[in-house]
């Protein structure tokens, strides 16, 4: 049982308290529900009181004696950041491809010539579980230092039964020992493996008939994702995989409309996906449908930045009512970063999102993007004691001083895990 903690005198306590149990849309994304000179009392890992410091002190009285106090004077306190889209578990790195791209090669050309996802698949297949665990843990440690307390992690660098399960098992093992909570996604349909070149449907059959049932039966993942992109999986193939997962209880997610418009957002709505991710090339119809159905758009500005392409139009999607979340897309090819603050900066500069919208997109909306909106993502009574204390006097400075890590203290389940 974790001990009690009292955080007091936060210059701004960014609560993101909701008026409804749903992701924030439109103008709601700017409503951070800030308490000045705020305090939070956490007991047994859960938030028990939230309010003005003097009011909470009066209310709790002697209960606060002898427990851990954290003075957040001059700082802001936010919910721990949530990353709803990472490819955390993989082996190796691909810096030589970065160099090739700087010399003019395209991301898809590299992949179609056996590099890209295939290169990481080769390294991940050949890595022992221990190596995969250690390499991925280093990334998790980085996420934690940047204030992230929950993240989603996908498989998809195995592309064969054993290696896909190895990735998902490593994610489970990391979840068991690391302060960060990991929510798993099966992404066997991340690329057509080289063994199935020219016959992607046979690989889809393998996913549907063998991999998905095993993943569901052994509770290795909650979500099922697919890379729906010309040259990877068609909307029809993607639909088959996502519908098959749904029948087994796995919630669909989609890598949609990243490189070309391909009706990925439309498919996300059709299959009832919790989110459609990337969306650089989303159609106007796709935006409208996602807004109507409340499908969360997970935007990944680090990927556009690193692939040197124009970012998704976050501004337009927010203005048209799509609930927007942000993520690193942490992966070795298109976004090798664990820096949520950098993603937040890029969302302001390259997507026209405001600091307030960015905070909503990395906390409560991100939590809804992995079906955790009732547990995390805001500082509210009954939610997990997951908080970041940031060394800036107001939330706008967090985004204004770009490229810096302002994280001062991280609290996970009521325990101090970074200080």
Known binding-site residues for Zn(2+) equal 85, 87, 255, 329
The Cα–Cα gap between 202 and 205 comes to 5
120: partner contacted, choices ligand NIG, Fe ion, none (Cβ within 5-8 A by kind): ligand NIG
Residue 24 binds ligand NIG (CB under 6 A): no
Residue 136 binds ligand NIG (CB under 6 A): no
In the three-class reduction of DSSP (H, G, I as helix; E, B as strand; rest coil), residue 19 is classed as coil
Bridge partner residues of 319 (DSSP) = none
Residue 329 binds ligand NIG (CB under 6 A): yes
| Residue, CB closest to ligand NIG | 333
DSSP state of 227: E
Dihedral angle over CA of 301, 303, 305, 306, nearest 10 = 160
Residue partners of 58: CB distance under 8 A and separation at least 6: none
The Cα–Cα gap between 42 and 224 comes to 34
Distances 341 to 28, 141, 215, 401, 418 between C-alpha atoms, Å: 22, 15, 33, 10, 16
Residue 332 neighbours by CB distance under 10 Å: 23
Binding positions for Fe(3+) are 85, 87, 255, 329
Residue 117 binds ligand NIG (CB under 6 A): yes
Residue 66 neighbours by CB distance under 10 Å: 8
User: Of 43 and 329, which has the nearer Cβ to Fe ion?
Assistant: 329
User: Of 64, 57, 49, 65, whose CA–CA distance to 13 is shortest?
Assistant: 49
Residue 181 binds Fe ion (CB under 5 A): no
Residue 227 binds ligand NIG (CB under 6 A): yes
Residue 304 binds ligand NIG (CB under 6 A): no
CB 387 → ligand NIG: shortest distance, Å? Answer: 29
53: partner contacted, choices ligand NIG, Fe ion, none (Cβ within 5-8 A by kind): none
Write the interaction track for ligand NIG spanning residues 77-116; mark x where CB under 6 A is met and - where it is not: ----------x----------------------------x
Binding-residue total with ligand NIG (CB under 6 A): 13
Residue 332 binds ligand NIG (CB under 6 A): yes
In the three-class reduction of DSSP (H, G, I as helix; E, B as strand; rest coil), residue 13 is classed as strand
Give 267-320 as a DSSP string: HHHHHT-SEEEE-TT--HHHHHHHHHHT-EEEE-HHHHHHTT-PPP-HHHHHHT
| Whether 419 contacts 70, CB under 8 Å | no
User: Of 314 and 332, which has the nearer Cβ to ligand NIG?
Assistant: 332
334: partner contacted, choices Fe ion, ligand NIG, none (Cβ within 5-8 A by kind): ligand NIG
Residue 333 binds ligand NIG (CB under 6 A): yes
The count of C-alpha atoms lying within 13 angstroms of the C-alpha of 187, restricted to the half-sphere facing its C-beta, is 29
Residue 255 binds ligand NIG (CB under 6 A): yes
Q: Alpha helices of 17-156 — where are they, by DSSP H?
A: 53-60, 95-102, 107-112, 117-126, 129-145
Question: Interface with ligand NIG by CB under 6 A: which range of 54-62, 129-137, 199-207, 324-332?
Answer: 324-332
User: Of 49 and 329, which has the nearer Cβ to Fe ion?
Assistant: 329
Question: Interface with ligand NIG by CB under 6 A: which range of 51-59, 142-150, 289-297, 328-336?
Answer: 328-336
Cα 175-181-187 angle, rounded to 5 deg: 75
User: Of 334 and 360, which has the nearer Cβ to ligand NIG?
Assistant: 334
Residue 258 binds Fe ion (CB under 5 A): no
CB 210 → Fe ion: shortest distance, Å? Answer: 23
Residue 12 binds ligand NIG (CB under 6 A): no
The Cα–Cα gap between 46 and 332 comes to 35
Residue 331 binds ligand NIG (CB under 6 A): yes
User: Of 24 and 253, which has the nearer Cβ to ligand NIG?
Assistant: 253
- The correct pick among 8, 173, 181, 329 for binding Fe ion (CB under 5 A) is 329
Q: Which residues bind Fe ion (CB under 5 A)?
A: 329
Q: Which residues bind ligand NIG (CB under 6 A)?
A: 87, 116-117, 120, 227, 255, 258, 303, 329, 331-334
């Amino acid at each position: 049982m974790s001990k009690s903690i009292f955080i007091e005198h936060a210059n701004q306590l960014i609560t993101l308290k909701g008026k409804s149990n749903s992701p924030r849309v439109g103008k709601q994304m700017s409503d951070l529900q800030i308490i000045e000179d705020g305090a939070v009392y956490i007991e047994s890992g859960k938030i028990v009181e939230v309010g003005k410091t003097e009011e909470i002190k009066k209310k709790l009285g002697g209960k606060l004696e002898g427990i851990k106090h954290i003075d957040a004077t001059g700082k802001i306190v936010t919910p721990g950041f949530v990353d709803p889209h990472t490819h955390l578990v993989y082996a190796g790195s691909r810096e030589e491809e970065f160099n090739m791209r700087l010399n003019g090669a395209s991301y898809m050309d590299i992949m179609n010539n056996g590099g890209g996802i295939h290169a990481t698949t080769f390294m991940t297949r050949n890595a022992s579980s221990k190596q995969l665990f250690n390499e991925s843990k280093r990334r998790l440690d980085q996420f934690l230092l940047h204030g992230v307390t929950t993240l989603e992690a996908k498989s998809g660098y195995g592309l064969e039964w054993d290696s896909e399960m190895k990735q998902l098992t490593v994610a489970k093992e990391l979840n068991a020992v690391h302060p960060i909570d990991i929510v798993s996604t099966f992404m066997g349909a991340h690329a057509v493996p080289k063994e199935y070149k020219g016959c992607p449907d046979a690989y889809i059959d393998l996913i549907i008939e063998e991999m998905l049932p095993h993943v569901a039966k052994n509770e290795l993942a909650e979500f099922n994702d697919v890379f729906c992109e010309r040259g990877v999986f068609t909307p029809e193939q993607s639909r088959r995989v996502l519908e098959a997962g749904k029948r087994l209880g796995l919630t669909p997610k989609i890598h949609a409309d990243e490189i070309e418009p391909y009706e990925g957002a439309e498919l996300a709505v059709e299959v009832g996906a919790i989110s459609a991710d990337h969306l650089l090339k989303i159609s106007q119809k796709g935006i409208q449908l996602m807004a109507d159905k409340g499908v969360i758009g997970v935007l990944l500005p680090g990927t556009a930045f690193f692939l040197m392409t124009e970012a998704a139009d976050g501004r337009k999607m927010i203005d048209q009512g799509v609930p927007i979340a942000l993520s690193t897309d942490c992966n070795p090819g298109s976004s090798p970063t664990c820096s949520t603050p950098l993603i937040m900066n890029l969302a302001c500069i390259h997507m026209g999102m405001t600091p307030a919208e960015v905070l909503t997109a990395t906390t409560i909306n991100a939590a809804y993007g992995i079906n955790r909106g009732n547990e995390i993502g805001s500082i509210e009574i009954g939610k997990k004691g997951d908080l970041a204390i940031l060394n800036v006097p107001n939330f706008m400075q967090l985004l204004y001083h770009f490229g810096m890590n302002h994280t001062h203290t991280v609290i996970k389940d009521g325990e101090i895990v970074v200080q």
